[in-house]
Structure 1
């Protein structure tokens, strides 16, 4: 029995090691049905462990059906336990596939990732205090299953907040609380794409949209974007789109704001095509020149589906977003939400409702706008100081990122790897484009979660490679 290797330095209990060995041998067919196992005394003696350890391992195997006891005869491998692991094993996913990195060679990596707020500025103490009050004061029903569309309290508060700050026109009944914007987009796909249809999207647009909407039978029709957002005069004249996906208040990634003329043209086009417009308003609260731009939804609430998220305002860890639908789609969307995950976590919704109602969100946004404007200005100064007239800066009026275009540079995989080797991670615009040739000189630089010192050092390192 010495063929069972025992690792006493491992954190895994000895009985689990014995159990795991037999389980693997049985599943793989090395120990076939009817094969006798050694007695507990014999195995304990051979492995120099307590008999109780072996007994516990055997009891676990017996409880899970791997072995059976025959009265007066011993313990044997049970029938029906062989599994062809070579055929049934799931493919392993490389760790690199779970990250967005080009490489991880530098220990002191400065990551200009976009869409990440200043994580150290989350109002932890206040949030904790509100959470304590909610847990102490709320009714017992709040600890049970919630409504798929979200808590009544949060939807009522959010409808008022969005009307006041973004010009969104809706009743609380039109709101569905989601676990982030990604779930909202998934719900839209399930809601509007049965059987597969045409979707008009901006180009470039976040690469996740390409994935989420690339369903069997679905066609993505890209419309180029410039420094003012989607070029609506290039909307296709033929076809029958199911919906148009846009980021009008802060085009991702180029940063343009869709002017009213193009908004009118877009709504007129959607009306003539009898399709919906999906407005993704992911970070427009942080506008540094004037007040935030009013929503597209406010111009045509019956045709525009509005998506919002608290990942950029507060923290991605909250996993809290929302979807505002025309009334005709609400009931079906609630059913799809219920089938997806029953409901978004209830206590976090109540905390967020109290956070908004108490005016804390307004104060937090005002505070963060000052911080992000300072970091944005510092990044622009660092780019100009390092690259002078060889850099053009785009899309810097809103949000947590800007785009830098470099004269004479092409961001190939080799150049990106070289930049990362120097300890800086940047993100090419071309990754998000269907027509990649137009954007090969451009990179996205997020600054929300970087201090001024890290920004300065990151641009210095970038300059040492680019120049």
Structure 2
């Protein structure tokens, strides 16, 4: 029985194993009466001490999840399925979580080629320049900068950011409409708290990142998935019998499929929102890296009073910065500031001042231009490798923007078992189905991220993927 173990985590191993089994029992993956492996067999399989397994089993036994039967072994107890954790939230994954390393013989495998999406080229973050700006800011900043800040963020960053967004994305806003957040995840969470209440209706793309399923479902909202095609959300399928609180879209680069929402669908979406009294939440997570055609203007620029615009610097610069933002219609600003204050008071001030200087002095534009050339080169190389290894057996989607693409393989279903085989061969890919409501439709597609991989690693990863699939 495979269970992910993160030996770099501060969580004790027995606790990780206990939690993995607990979740499987609650979600019904392990059902009442199912027999568990012996402590000796499981310890051997996971390459841990038998004592660790015994501790995990004892904790499960104490809480009633499992029971021992004399002479027969250990079994899942009856009455442990919890259906209430189901609503609209995807079932627990049977594939490794994005952040978990591959374990071989109890050690992290440094040779793993991880095609994780959403990760920029971390080795090319402008560390020296950022450090020089940080030193200057810390030396020259007023004492006020080291105290408590405003929940909406530093006025220096909001002013610079408003000008940048008007120029680069066609966003219509004033600095007062901006709320600086600790990454896009906090921005999306704040929007959920701001706009949702019990039993709210929300329209989302299908597929869309699995985290969205969870964040919007937790406040009790009912999610209505709208299918996407190669051009994003199919707006002809917007329901006429409900009035959702908002429609969540990724119009400039649909995640994960990659479509660009055309103007006809944008107009149709705005008209729908006006007719139903809904907001539109636009997540613009990586559209700076567009390789074909002119840059795409934001949806927000078409209707600033109805669209909530979310952006992040995690894909442009680094996830470690934890810096994102929301552009809000005027009617939502005060309530959003209050929610932000109650969440974490404010986003770290010094980082905001450094970022403001980085943008104002033109470094951000130069960094984006440099990285765009690099990512285009890596994308083209990846496509060549896929074509070389799979020929007409692979269809490539969503490659015009961003730092990932979709590879579609007719006749191949990326089941947890197949993904495990692929990972055992030293390469990790990500199934689109994890992010889908209708998983069967997406079972033959995988997400391949390339932003943080050199050409040599890309080549090796596709070679290993090809070898894995040829065994099927």
Interval containing the TM-score (normalised by the shorter chain):
0.7 to 0.9
TM superposition shift of 1:399: 0.1
Q: Normalization by structure 1: what TM-score?
A: 0.79
Distance 1:100 1:304 in 2: 32
Report the counterpart of residue 129 of structure 1 in structure 2.
132
Indicate which of 212, 215, 220 corresponds to 1:212.
215
Deviation >2 Å, runs of 4+: 96-107
1:280 has 2:279 as partner:
no
TM superposition shift of 1:102: 8.6
User: How do residues 62-461 of structure 1 correspond to structure 2 at under 5 angstroms?
Assistant: 100-101=99-100, 103-105=102-104, 106-461=109-464
Larger Rg computed on CA atoms: 1
TM superposition shift of 1:215: 2.3
TM superposition shift of 1:355: 0.2
Unaligned runs of 5+ in 1: 1-85, 88-95
The root-mean-square deviation of aligned C-alpha atoms, in Å, is 1.4
Per-residue CA shift, 1:161-181, capped at 9, x if unaligned? 000000000000000000000
TM superposition shift of 1:196: 3.2
Unaligned runs of 5+ in 2: 1-61, 64-94
What SS does the corresponding residue of 2:245 show, helix, strand or coil? Answer: strand
Does the aligned pair in 2 maintain the 1:107–1:423 contact within 8 Å? no
Q: Normalization by structure 2: what TM-score?
A: 0.78
Report the counterpart of residue 29 of structure 1 in structure 2.
none
Does the aligned pair in 2 maintain the 1:102–1:420 contact within 8 Å? no
Per-residue CA shift, 1:20-59, capped at 9, x if unaligned? xxxxxxxxxxxxxxxxxxxxxxxxxxxxxxxxxxxxxxxx
Distance 2:396 2:230 in 1: 11
Does the aligned pair in 1 maintain the 2:429–2:448 contact within 8 Å? yes
Per-residue CA shift, 1:267-290, capped at 9, x if unaligned? 000000001000000000000012
Per-residue CA shift, 1:92-142, capped at 9, x if unaligned? xxxx98754495334410000000000000000000010011011111000
Report the counterpart of residue 51 of structure 1 in structure 2.
none
Per-residue CA shift, 1:444-467, capped at 9, x if unaligned? 000000000000000000000112
Per-residue CA shift, 1:401-441, capped at 9, x if unaligned? 00000122110111000000000000000000000011111
Distance 1:442 1:146 in 2: 45
User: How do residues 49-64 of structure 1 correspond to structure 2 at under 5 angstroms?
Assistant: none
What SS does the corresponding residue of 2:400 show, helix, strand or coil? Answer: coil
Distance 2:399 2:266 in 1: 21
Distance 2:458 2:220 in 1: 44
Distance 1:99 1:462 in 2: 18
